[in-house]
Amino acid sequence: MPDSLKLSSIAKWPWAVLTPVLLFVAVSILAPWITPYDPAAQDYSAVLQGFSQEHWLGTDYLGRDMFSRIIAGARVSLVAMSIVLAAALIIGVMVGSFAGYVGGRTELVLISLIDIILSLPSLVVALAFIGIIGPGYWSMIAALTMAWWANYARMSRAVVTSELHQPYIEAARVMGAGHLHIFCRHILPHVLALVVVYASADAGALVLAIATLSFLGLGVEPPTPEWGQMLVDGMNYLEQYPHLVILPGLALTLVVSSFNLLGEHFALKKVPKGLSKRRLGILKKRRAREEMNMLEQEAKA
């Protein structure tokens, strides 16, 4: 079965899934030093060239080096994705946790708002938002944040509501802990544990959304290289110079799938596993030892 095969291979090398993501992150951090050419520099004497020693992945219609543009594009995509993810996480966790913690009418209003946003496809929300504030790099980031935060808010609220009724919270309260202490110390770690895992799975979708908006001309402004924009520029030359479309498409596919793999891996770790006989034996022994210790202590007393 392919599924079990995939799971077992991931289980054997849990850090293997991180490799492509780390590779892309490293490339995007080092982009200014490893690009052989200025990704925006036009050279009319070398337009639409194929693969060569000077230009490893050829050049585009303005003679710009494709290799440099793809590397620089990774930086743009990953930086924008990180900003959106961080902003969406902060807003989502804050709003969701607040709703869950406070409860009552406030929760009802906030959760209704979250539900409304979630009922609309996120890209439509982003498009509408850009329609209002106008296109550009920062409006793209704002629009995607607006479209993404509600997901995390809903998750955070669910975790907060369930944790709030746990006995240890009651205990903390009885001991006189303040709301902020209870929330930050006892609830937030639970919220983050879940939400961050889902966010890592969303990273791929976000990279794709950024490329989609740029493809529609609503994202990154030229001459900043961006994969979605490189795709749309290459479309004109698809018949004769397919590498102009295939290369940014391939880069996009690789990043999206490696982030998805990572997200999947994290999500699997969160799934409760059945206890093996050996583990059960160990636990039983430990429990017996503890009971023995307690009995001994009682006897001493």
Partner 1 sequence: MFNTFRSTIRRPLFVFFTVLLTAVVTIFPIVSSAQEQKPLRIAIKQETGNLDLLQNVSALSTYSLVFDPLIRYGENGQLEPALATSWEVSEDGTKLSFNLRQDVAFSDGTPFNANTARWNLERWMGKPEFAWIGISDAMQSIETTGMYELTINLSRPVPAALYELTIIRPVRFLSPNAVDAEGRQTAPVGTGPWVVTENNNSRTLLTRNNNYWGSKPSFSSMELKVVPDELARSNGLRSGDLDIIGGDWVSPLSPRRARTMQRDPNVAVVAEPGTTSILLTFSPKSPLLQDQRVREAIDLSIERNAIVAIIYEGFATPTTNLFPTVIPFSGDRVVLPQRDVKSARSKLEQAGWKRSGNQWLKDGKVLELELMVSEEALPGSRRLAEMIQGQLSETGIKVRVSSVDNATIHDRRPVFQYDLTFMATYGAPYDPHGTLANLLLSGVDSGPDGKIYTNPELDVVVQSALNAQGDERIIKMQAIYNWLNANMAVSPLVSPKRLWAYNRRVGNFQLPATDYQMPGTDVTLSE
Q: Which is nearer to partner 1, 73 or 100 (CB)?
A: 73
Q: Which is nearer to partner 1, 42 or 161 (CB)?
A: 42
For residues 298 and 301, give the distance between their C-alpha atoms in angstroms, rounded to a whole number: 5
Binding mask 252-291 toward partner 1 (x if CB under 8 A, else -) reads ----------------------------------------
Among 4, 53, 119, 240, binds partner 1 (CB under 8 A): 240
Report yes or no: 195 and 93 within 8 Å, Cβ to Cβ.
yes
Beta-bridged to residue 59, according to DSSP, are 65
Kindly state the smallest distance separating residue 41's Cβ from partner 1, in Å.
8
The encoded tokens of residue 298 equal: 């009682």
Beta-bridged to residue 65, according to DSSP, are 59
Kindly state the smallest distance separating residue 233's Cβ from partner 1, in Å.
7
Kindly state the smallest distance separating residue 126's Cβ from partner 1, in Å.
15
Tell me: does residue 134 bind partner 1 (CB under 8 A). Answer: yes
* Phi–psi pair at 40, nearest 5 degrees: -100, -5
Please calculate the CA angle 172-177-179 and round it to the nearest 5 degrees. 105
For residues 32 and 99, give the distance between their C-alpha atoms in angstroms, rounded to a whole number: 43
Tell me: does residue 249 bind partner 1 (CB under 8 A). Answer: no
- Residue 74 vs residues 53, 62, 69: alpha-carbon distances, Å: 22, 20, 9
Q: Which is nearer to partner 1, 80 or 218 (CB)?
A: 218
Q: Which is nearer to partner 1, 236 or 253 (CB)?
A: 236
Q: Which of residues 196-225 bind partner 1 (CB under 8 A)?
A: 217-218, 221-223
The encoded tokens of residue 188 equal: 């937030």
For residues 56 and 53, give the distance between their C-alpha atoms in angstroms, rounded to a whole number: 6
Q: Which residue ranges make up the site for partner 1 (CB under 8 A)?
A: 40-42, 44, 47, 61-62, 134-136, 217-218, 221-223, 233, 235-237, 239-240
